């Protein structure tokens, strides 16, 4: 299959990925996206305490990061929050996306506008509003211990993530051919079976895109997390921002590099595991 990328057959009119100017544009875009990341990784091996000038090579930052329990805890917290929030917001967002695509109902435009509110509102407004609310209902002040003290943060992250998912899922569903669904019913499938075997496979790219968005939003959120956190729930972004006054140290770069490495390895592994089943199907 990979041969498609390098074959020397004449270029078809739809093979956009083989056009030179498009290749150049993509190359420039990815260069723009990755050059700062390359610098960041390079500085994770720097002997200087600051991310400004190159002084010499060392692996010490990785040792420092590994031996910093606060940093590891912050990382764990961030991943737990992002995982839970992504799961729930993909589910809820997918359902809302389906509903908005599928049904006509009175007040739909207003309903849609309300669902879009978390995207519109500046983060800080949502942060302080949720903080006041959580304090009021006693969630931030109840000493429930780890990891339940991450609950309010997760709840807040779901609230601002799932509207993003629903917008993506809905724009995906617009192209669905309703006749497919009718065909499925005619062939005797019930509503659930039709949903499971016809709608969901079609939704999948929308769900994947939505889940990736939700994960990205959650992992990088500082403002809302800061305001909805109680004692003992420092996340990675909160840790990084509180470092600003003293300067960001290279062990943070080391930790970020490790995150990139883990993601890449996990994806490659997942693809290796998935490949045989696909081949069997094909």
Partner 1 sequence: MESWRDNRFVFWLLSLPGTFWISLFFIVPLSVLWIYSFGEKTGITDVAITWTGQNYGRVIEPVYLQIMWKSLWVSAVSTLICLLLAYPIAFAICFAPDRWKPILLLITILPFWINLLIRTYALLAVFRTNGYVNKAIGWLWNGIDWLFGGQHPFQPLELLYNNGSVIAGLVYVYLPFMVLPLYATVERLDKSYLEASLDLGASQLRTLLSVTVPLTMPGIVSGVILVFIPSLGAFLTPALLGGANAIMIGNVIETQFKSANDWPFGAALSFVLIYATFGILALRWAITARSKGVEF
Partner 2 sequence: MSTYRPKFRPSRRALLQGTGAFAVGLTFLPRFSLAEEEKKLNFYNWDTYIGERTLEDFQKATGIETKLDLYADNAELFAKLKSGNPGYDVIVPSDSWIERLVGANMLMPLDQAKIPNMANIDPRFADAVFDKGRKYTIPYMWGTLGIGYNKKVTNGVPDSWKVCYDSDQYKGRVSLLGDARTVIGLALKYLGKSLNSTDPKDLKQAEDLIIANKKNLKVFAPDNGQDLLASGEVDIAQEWNGDILQVMGENADLDYVVPTEGTQVWQDTMAIAAGAPHPDNAHKFLNFILDAQAGADIAKFINYATANLAARKLLDDSYNKNTSIFPPEEILVKSEAQIYLGEDGQKLFEDSWTRIQAA
Query: C-beta of 71: minimal distance to partner 2 in Å?
Result: 10
Q: Tell me the site size for partner 2, rule CB under 8 A.
A: 47
Q: Kindly tell me which residue out of 19, 23, 49, 204 binds partner 2, with binding defined by CB under 8 A.
A: 49
Query: C-beta of 86: minimal distance to partner 2 in Å?
Result: 20
R_g over Cα of the chain: 23
Please, which residues bridge with residue 46 across strands?
57
DSSP-assigned letters across all residues of 114-181: HHHHHHHS-HHHHHHHHHHHHHHTTTTTS---TTGGGHHHHHHHHHHHHHHHHHHHHHHHTT--HHHH
Residues 236-255 that bind partner 2 (CB under 8 A): 238-239, 241-247, 249
Query: C-beta of 135: minimal distance to partner 1 in Å?
Result: 11
Q: Kindly tell me which residue out of 17, 35, 125, 142 binds partner 2, with binding defined by CB under 8 A.
A: 142
Q: Which residues contact 100 (CB under 8 A, 6 or more apart)?
A: 108, 111, 112, 115, 166, 170
Q: From partner 2, partner 1, none, which one binds at residue 135 (CB under 5 to 8 Å depending on kind)?
A: partner 2
Q: Contact region for partner 2 (CB under 8 A) — 5-13, 36-44, 108-116, 133-141?
A: 133-141
Query: C-beta of 106: minimal distance to partner 1 in Å?
Result: 8
Q: How far apart are CA 151 and CA 137, in angstroms?
A: 13
Q: Kindly tell me which residue out of 78, 86, 161, 229 binds partner 2, with binding defined by CB under 8 A.
A: 229
Q: From partner 2, partner 1, none, which one binds at residue 193 (CB under 5 to 8 Å depending on kind)?
A: none
Query: C-beta of 75: minimal distance to partner 2 in Å?
Result: 13
Long-range contacts at 141-144 (CB < 8 A, ≥ 24 apart): 141/230, 143/231
Rule CB under 8 A: say whether 39 interacts with partner 2.
no
Q: How far apart are CA 83 and CA 40, in angstroms?
A: 25
Tokens of 56: 């010499």
Tokens of 248: 């960001």
Beta carbons of 100 and 166 less than 8 angstroms apart? yes
Q: From partner 1, partner 2, none, which one binds at residue 115 (CB under 5 to 8 Å depending on kind)?
A: partner 1
Find the angle CA(141)-CA(143)-CA(149) to the nearest 5 degrees.
90
Query: C-beta of 247: minimal distance to partner 2 in Å?
Result: 6
Q: Within its chain, how far is the Cα of 171 from the centroid?
A: 18
Question: Using CB under 8 A as the criterion, which residues of the chain lie in contact with partner 2 when the complex forms?
Answer: 48-53, 55, 67, 69-70, 73, 128, 131-132, 135-148, 151, 226-227, 229-234, 238-239, 241-247, 249
């Amino acid at each position: 299959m990979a041969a498609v990328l390098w074959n020397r057959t004449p270029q078809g009119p739809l093979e956009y990925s083989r056009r030179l100017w498009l290749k150049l544009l993509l190359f420039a875009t990815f260069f723009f996206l990755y050059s700062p990341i390359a610098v960041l990784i390079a500085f994770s091996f720097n002997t200087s305490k600051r991310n400004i000038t190159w002084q010499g090579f060392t692996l010490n930052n990785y040792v420092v990061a590994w031996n910093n329990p606060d940093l590891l805890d912050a990382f764990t917290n961030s991943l737990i929050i992002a995982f839970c929030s992504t799961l729930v917001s993909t589910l809820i967002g997918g359902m809302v996306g389906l509903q908005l695509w599928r049904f006509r109902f009175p007040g739909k435009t207003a309903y849609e506008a309300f669902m879009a509110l978390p995207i519109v509102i500046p983060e800080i407004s949502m942060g302080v509003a949720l903080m006041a609310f959580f304090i009021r209902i006693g969630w931030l002040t109840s000493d429930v211990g780890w990891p339940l003290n991450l609950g309010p943060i997760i709840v807040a992250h779901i609230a601002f993530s799932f509207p993003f998912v629903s917008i993506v899922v809905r724009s995906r569903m617009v192209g669905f051919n309703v006749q497919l669904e009718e065909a499925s019913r005619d062939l005797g499938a019930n509503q659930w079976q039709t949903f499971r075997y016809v709608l969901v496979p079609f939704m999948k790219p929308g769900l994947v895109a939505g889940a990736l968005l939700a994960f990205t939003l959650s992992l990088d959120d500082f403002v809302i997390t800061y305001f909805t956190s109680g004692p003992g729930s420092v996340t990675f972004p909160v840790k990084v921002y509180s470092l600003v006054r003293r300067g960001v140290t290279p062990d943070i770069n080391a930790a970020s590099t490790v995150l990139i490495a883990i993601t890449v390895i996990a994806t490659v592994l997942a693809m290796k595991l998935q490949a045989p089943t696909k081949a069997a199907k094909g």
